[in-house]
Amino acid sequence: MQLSEVDLNNPDNFLAGQPHEAYDLLRREAPVFWHDEPDGPGFWVLTRHEDVRYVSRTPSIFSSTPHCLIWEPDPELIGVLSTVMINMDPPRHNQYRNTINKGFVPKRIDQISGYVAKVAKDIVDEVAPKGECDFVEEVAALTPMTMICELFGIPESERRYAYDLANRLISSDDPEMQEAGGADEAFAEIFEYAAKLRAYKLEHPSDDLATLVVNAELDGKRVDDMVFGSFVMMMVVAGNETTRTVTSNGMIRLIEHPEQRQQLIDDPSLIPAAVEELLRYEPGVHHFRRTVMEDTEVAGVKMEEGQKLTLWYGSANRDDSVFKDPHNFDINRSDATEHVTFGIGQHYCLGASLARAQLRAIFTEVLTRMPDIEMVGTPRRLRSNFINGVKEMRVSYTPS
């Protein structure tokens, strides 16, 4: 491959998984790379661990506003996206984050660890007797969907709908996933749903994050339907999709490396360290965007105010200046925790502790009760250069 052949803008190039041939070439020959864009001005591509960390820690120069996407959404959506926490910079970002932060701090996650384990056990209780299942829909998707909806106070009867909305929102480049309704329709639906949920929580408060948000004040005003909708969207998308993706991709890797899977079966105490390697090896998100706020340089390369810049986490997680034998999947490696899968700096993932707890719980249950799990056919991946997703993964195992 040559630099002229690199195309990170085409979702088709992600159907076989992360494009590591392109990432390796960029880190080696053009770690700060200008990428042309057929229907846009182009964007910078950062692929080294060091540069991803630097930009992530410098929001005054590399802004998350107006949004975190490479492509430009319809102009009328820009104002709505500006109310989503992931598209904010300090100090506004800190205000929004502090509104729900206490629901995700490690101490709180430790308090609900028993419930997380129960959710994982209940999920495996359903599939273990079957002998086969779609691992994505029947295992990987259910843990985060159940947990985030429980924490946020979304009724059990509405959780599947919330999950389907999240699927449609992040699958705009996948024709099959859009058959049930496009991302634009899902965007509108989630705000309509959120308005109803907000009205209900105002009348029926309870001990959940939704009640916390509807009673909060931001910028001296009570949270309105638009802002509450942005919190709901963030919860159902970030809380569902990324953990589901790491669970699905992680199971694929463990099936592909039976000797390492057996280590975890023999000694479950190794699972927390293995989770860090799964996060490093297969991050849930391919990239996020920033906007250059002033003329500046990264690694000696000049950038201009207003240009788009993208951070590629899967590449940073395979940077051989940080990780030994980076393409080698190894649950016993000592450097896995250096991964940037959860981001860096102000946008470090709010739900990182919850995600880790869920991943530990579901892999413990699956490996204990479905130890001979194997893939049936080839997993079908999401057509996306944004989410590192798996749509379907048929597996078989001895019923138990």
All structural domains of the chain with their residue ranges: 8-396
With a cut of 80, say whether residue 219 has pLDDT above it: no
Share of the chain above pLDDT 90, in %: 59
Banded model confidence at residue 206, pLDDT cuts 50, 70, 90: confident
| pLDDT of the residue at 180 | 58
| pLDDT of the residue at 14 | 95
- Over residues 344-361, the pLDDT tens digits come to 988 888 888 899 999 999
With a cut of 70, say whether residue 301 has pLDDT above it: yes
Taking CA 18 as the corner, what is the angle to CA 133 and CA 244, rounded to the nearest 5 degrees? 35
| pLDDT of the residue at 265 | 97
| Lowest-confidence region among 1-5, 21-25, 184-188 | 184-188
Banded model confidence at residue 138, pLDDT cuts 50, 70, 90: very high
With a cut of 70, say whether residue 172 has pLDDT above it: no
Banded model confidence at residue 21, pLDDT cuts 50, 70, 90: very high
Average pLDDT over residues 85-110: 82
| pLDDT of the residue at 331 | 97
Banded model confidence at residue 173, pLDDT cuts 50, 70, 90: low
With a cut of 90, say whether residue 266 has pLDDT above it: yes
| pLDDT of the residue at 216 | 85
| pLDDT of the residue at 380 | 94
| pLDDT of the residue at 177 | 58
| pLDDT of the residue at 116 | 92
Average pLDDT over residues 159-169: 81
| pLDDT of the residue at 179 | 61
Share of the chain above pLDDT 70, in %: 95
Contacts of 231 (CB under 8 A, 6+ apart): 85, 99, 100, 194, 213, 223
| pLDDT of the residue at 63 | 95
101 neighbors 353 (Cβ within 8 angstroms):
no
Cα 262 to Cα 124, 258, 268, 275: the distances in Å are: 19, 6, 10, 15
Going by C-alpha positions, the residue among 190, 100, 76 that lies closest to residue 151 is 100
CATH class of 8-396: mainly alpha
CA distance 236 to 197: 13
Average pLDDT over residues 123-131: 96
Determine the number of helices (DSSP H) and then strands (DSSP E) in the chain.
16, 14
With a cut of 90, say whether residue 158 has pLDDT above it: no
| pLDDT of the residue at 135 | 97
Average pLDDT over residues 261-266: 97
| pLDDT of the residue at 94 | 86
The mean pLDDT value of the chain amounts to 90
Average pLDDT over residues 238-252: 89
3-state secondary structure 8-73: CCCHHHHCCCCCHHHHHHHHHHCCEEEECCCCCCCEEEECCHHHHHHHHCCCCCEECCCCCCCCCC
| pLDDT of the residue at 16 | 92
| pLDDT of the residue at 117 | 93
With a cut of 70, say whether residue 153 has pLDDT above it: yes
Buried b / exposed e along 86-118 (16+ C-beta atoms within 10 A): bbbbeeebeebbebbeebbeeeebeebeeebbe
